[in-house]
Amino acid sequence: MAEAEVGDDVFEGDPTVKRLEEAAAGLLGQEAALFVPSGTMANQVALRMLTRAGDEIICEVGAHIVNYEVAAASVLSGLQLSPIESPGGILTPEMVEPRIRPENIHHPNTSVIALENTHNRAGGNVYPLEAIWSLRELARTRGLQFYLDGARVWNAAAYLEVPVSEITSRFDAVSVCFSKGLGAPVGSAVASTRENIKTARRIRKMFGGGMRQVGIIAAGALYALENNLERLIDDHRRARVLAENLADTGLFEMAPKSVLTNIVVIGLKSQVSEIEFCSALESRGVLLVPFGRARIRAVAHLDIGDEDIDEASRVIIDVARSYL
């Protein structure tokens, strides 16, 4: 990062950013990509790119765009979300098709089917390829845009043992994150057609995401793409070990077999609040986050080794026993 060659990315003059965008687009099976500061900005740039104000987006009720983006789709772009509750966060054509509105002057226009893969609130669950293909066919048949919040799609590809393009090339647009499983300090990207990315660049500027000598951070993301994809399976293995360690005690609501990738959702059986439990863990050097009522979330990543998993398991179990 310290040695990155830089230029002015607002004027498309940063060579390191260009290398990153070309590499990302190639991996994702898309024509072009745009580097942005965050996953939320990536989602919001992409959704505005694919829609007009007053449109409606079909998504899953636990999706990031519903729960963690401060109502940005409605505030920034005048969009309405139509969330569907589905088992494991996985939508099917049978769930989606009844929510596609017929043309009617009283209705918003349904314009996008949006998926999240892996699904954060569903514990890192992965869409089967067949489910993506069938939803893609539905979107094509009904004239809708097909969008992927792929912040963790690298993990989905690692779990399915396929090139990431096998997943992402099916979509009209996709966002990806470099600062989660891949470990870069900052950054996400939107990928789509060249014409769409030309539009996305203007939207990024409008949303305050135009950056100048940003090759400094793009270099970190490029390093992550070139070096950290193959090691994602280590995170998946360690997450399963953590889940199994906790499940064996009987102190938690756990389903180790549902841990497919790097996220472990831990159900608390005691009456302690998830906030208090996480605070107790933090005082002992283990950082987890509250994840809903009586639930907390742990994520394995490249800074966590096998010994760390063992230590975290021990601390989480000790804290749980202290509340019995």
**Architecture per CATH, 232-322:** Alpha-Beta Complex (3.90)
SS3 216: helix
In 269-296, which positions are buried (b, 16+ CB within 10 angstroms) versus exposed (e)?
ebebebeebbebbeeeebebebbeebbb
User: Are 232 and 262 within 8 A, CB to CB?
Assistant: yes
The answer to whether the pTM exceeds 0.85 is yes
Identify each DSSP E strand in 80-228 by its residue range: 80-84, 109-116, 145-150, 173-177, 188-192
CATH of domain 9-227: 3.40.640.10
For the chain, the domains span: 9-227, 232-322
Q: What is the residue-level pLDDT of the chain in tens, covering all 324 positions?
A: 999 999 999 999 999 999 999 999 999 999 999 999 999 999 999 999 999 999 999 999 999 999 999 999 999 999 999 999 999 999 999 999 999 999 999 999 999 999 999 999 999 999 999 999 999 999 999 999 999 999 999 999 999 999 999 999 999 999 999 999 999 999 999 999 999 999 999 999 999 999 999 999 999 999 999 999 999 999 999 999 999 999 999 999 999 999 999 999 999 998 899 999 999 999 999 999 999 999 999 999 999 999 999 999 999 999 999 998
User: Are 243 and 259 within 8 A, CB to CB?
Assistant: yes
